[in-house]
Amino acid sequence: MGYSYYRNRRFSVRLFTVILFVILAFSGVGFSIYLFYVAKSLYVYVIAIGFLLLSVISGGFNLYASMFYYKSYFYKDFLRQINYKLNKKIPEKDLPTVAVAVPVYNENPKILKSTMENLSKMKYPKKKANFYLLDDSTDKRKAEIFKEFSKLYGFRYIHRKNRKAFKAGALNNLLGKMKEEYLAVFDYDEKLVNRNFLLDIIPYFNDKNVSYVQTKKDYVKTGELFPDSCTLFDSFFFDFIEPSRAMDNTAIFAGSCGIIRKSTLKLVGGFPEYIVEDTFFSFESNIRKFKGLYIPKIYALGESMKTFTDLAKQQWRYNYGDTQFLSYFLHRTKNVKTLKERADYFTHGFGLNYISVLVVLFTLISIFIVFSNVPFTALNFYKVLFAGGVVSSYLYLEIFGMVALVGSFLGPAIMTKIYFGSFKRGVMFYLLNFALAIIRTKAALSAVLHTNTKINWSRGNGSITNNLFYSIINTKVELGFAFFIFMLSYIASITNHVSGGVWLLMYGMLYLTTTIFTYKYK
């Protein structure tokens, strides 16, 4: 079987994905239309309008996502054209100087040591590359250890006592001191697996308009369900969204495993001092008409998430930062020239809110639907088991609601099976998004209100009782919401709204996963 066969097969798979997104987009709208059809009171009309509004927003995002999946298929051809014009054979004497920076804050010394050791073996003229450890650690013992690591592996050690602006501040501090022409950034846990990183990527900067080059970020596979499922958050982004956006010149510098031109970074005033400094920098660079490139090749592997607490903290930070960016972008929309670029940035800023805030709002409006005077079929367990046929035409309303919920579950599971070879990880990915829904929603509210920049969860001491206690305390909002839905599910069931009760029961179980995951993956 030749190349053309596999190319056609990959295209067919992408086309199937687009169709799946389109079905999901229109299913919610169809359910909204049916609500209008059966509405017999102002209250139900209000519910129908609310559901339609959420469905249109959700459908719009699904349709836009389908464009990412379709367009990313052509990225190899796009990159091939760039590589064709590229002069990769730069004489050693003409290679530019590069600063390789690793920002750290009270990190695991064992992991950091491995990272520094591997980075120090990177292939590049020794006089042209300098390595920096940017240490913001407040743990004095760790700071001393990190200082020794720096001596051992030839890193220049820079310690800040004041953590102003966190990672952005540490990088800007280096920017004010460095003499090198380019800045490469790696996270403390990213182990180099391809020593040609600098030699491969630096030639792309022969194009004077290139501001930064981002490579694919990936993680060490553990063979365990939870950590390997957590990697899907980045996998979907780097396999589909980032390539598509790179073709629109709206690719995001993702904070590490990439290189930035120092002159451009200085021109935009350094890294904007926000939680997701990389996104803000990418935006500032792009609106000045510099290019951002994406190379879908893995040069380093990071550590997978081991605990749900760590995942929750990461997602809080991401959605807090993305919500900040959304506000920032909306105030600077006039600086973005094309409608396509505006759409890319808007969907980036609103993306995590789409799979969190909208999920919570859909849950709330579903409760109103179940307890409205919408003519649900008077359905009890006896009729379900022994009616032998369609009980009522209104049963379609209840079936439609269930199908929409099940469809939203099967979508990511099927896509994960198709693209990453695991249906099980797709199911876990779906559950994780629900488990994180309220956490991300609270992060968005905190960003709007300018309050907590991070989630403050306590950890248990290892005993079953203690871990269970802290799991309940840390997720009390999600747990309370889940049991509230369980209560409503019971009430719906005993008042002959069995399908409505099952609908709410499913929602309750989904929100309960926050507490379950916090306890299980502690």
pLDDT tens, residue by residue, 115-147: 999 999 999 999 999 999 999 999 999 999 999
Q: Mean pLDDT across the stretch 23-40?
A: 79
Query: Chain centroid to CA 438: how far?
Result: 15
Give the least confident one: 37-51, 161-175, 436-450, 505-519: 37-51
Domain boundary among 30, 50, 73: 73
Total tally of structural domains belonging to the chain: 3
If asked whether residues 289 and 322 sit together in one domain, one would say no
Domain boundary among 306, 335, 365: 306
- Domain with 35, as residue range(s), is 1-73
**At residue 240, does pLDDT exceed 70?**
yes
**At residue 166, does pLDDT exceed 70?**
yes
> For the chain, give me the number of helices (H) and strands (E)?
22, 8
Whether the CB-CB separation of 214 and 258 falls below 8 Å is answered with: yes
Domain-embedded: residue 81: no
If asked whether residues 187 and 64 sit together in one domain, one would say no
Q: Mean pLDDT across the stretch 146-155?
A: 98
What's the CATH number where 276 sits? 3.90.550.10
- Greatest mean pLDDT range, 23-27, 160-164, 183-187: 183-187
Q: How confident is the model at residue 313 (pLDDT cuts 50, 70, 90)?
A: very high
Domain-embedded: residue 80: no
pLDDT at 379: 43
Domain-embedded: residue 82: no
Q: Mean pLDDT across the stretch 232-244?
A: 96
Helix (H, G, I), strand (E, B) or coil at 266: helix
What does each C-alpha distance from 215 to 167, 299, 359, 405 come to in angstroms?
A: 20, 7, 31, 36
Tell me the H-state helices in 73-108: 75-85
Pairing of strands 129-135, 155-159: parallel
Give the least confident one: 8-22, 40-54, 443-457, 478-492: 8-22
Q: Mean pLDDT across the stretch 163-183?
A: 96
Whether the CB-CB separation of 294 and 243 falls below 8 Å is answered with: yes
If asked whether residues 271 and 320 sit together in one domain, one would say no
**At residue 391, does pLDDT exceed 50?**
no
The larger pLDDT score, comparing residue 213 to residue 458, is at: 213
Domain-embedded: residue 79: no
Find the helix or strand (DSSP H, E) in which 467 lies: helix 464-474
DSSP 106-118: S--HHHHHHHHHH
Q: How confident is the model at residue 291 (pLDDT cuts 50, 70, 90)?
A: very high
If asked whether residues 363 and 272 sit together in one domain, one would say no
User: CA 116, 119, 125, 128 torsion: positive or negative?
Assistant: negative
**At residue 398, does pLDDT exceed 80?**
no
Q: How confident is the model at residue 378 (pLDDT cuts 50, 70, 90)?
A: very low
Domain-embedded: residue 389: yes
Domain-embedded: residue 78: no
If asked whether residues 382 and 503 sit together in one domain, one would say yes
What does each C-alpha distance from 99 to 2, 87, 259, 261 come to in angstroms?
A: 43, 22, 9, 10
Tell me the H-state helices in 303-436: 308-331, 339-354, 357-370, 381-386, 395-420, 423-435
If asked whether residues 151 and 249 sit together in one domain, one would say yes
Q: Mean pLDDT across the stretch 455-462?
A: 75
If asked whether residues 260 and 200 sit together in one domain, one would say yes
Domain-embedded: residue 146: yes
Give the least confident one: 67-76, 106-115, 496-505: 496-505
Rounded CA separation 126/286 (Å): 32
If asked whether residues 93 and 43 sit together in one domain, one would say no
Q: How many other C-beta atoms lie within 10 A of the C-beta of residue 382?
A: 9
Whether the CB-CB separation of 233 and 155 falls below 8 Å is answered with: no
High-pLDDT (> 70) share of the chain, % = 91
If asked whether residues 251 and 322 sit together in one domain, one would say no
Domain-embedded: residue 345: yes
Rounded CA separation 94/92 (Å): 5
Please tell me the pTM assigned to this model: 0.90
If asked whether residues 421 and 486 sit together in one domain, one would say yes
User: CA 377, 379, 383, 388 torsion: positive or negative?
Assistant: positive
If asked whether residues 187 and 115 sit together in one domain, one would say yes
pLDDT at 5: 43
Domain boundary among 73, 98, 115: 73
If asked whether residues 231 and 325 sit together in one domain, one would say no
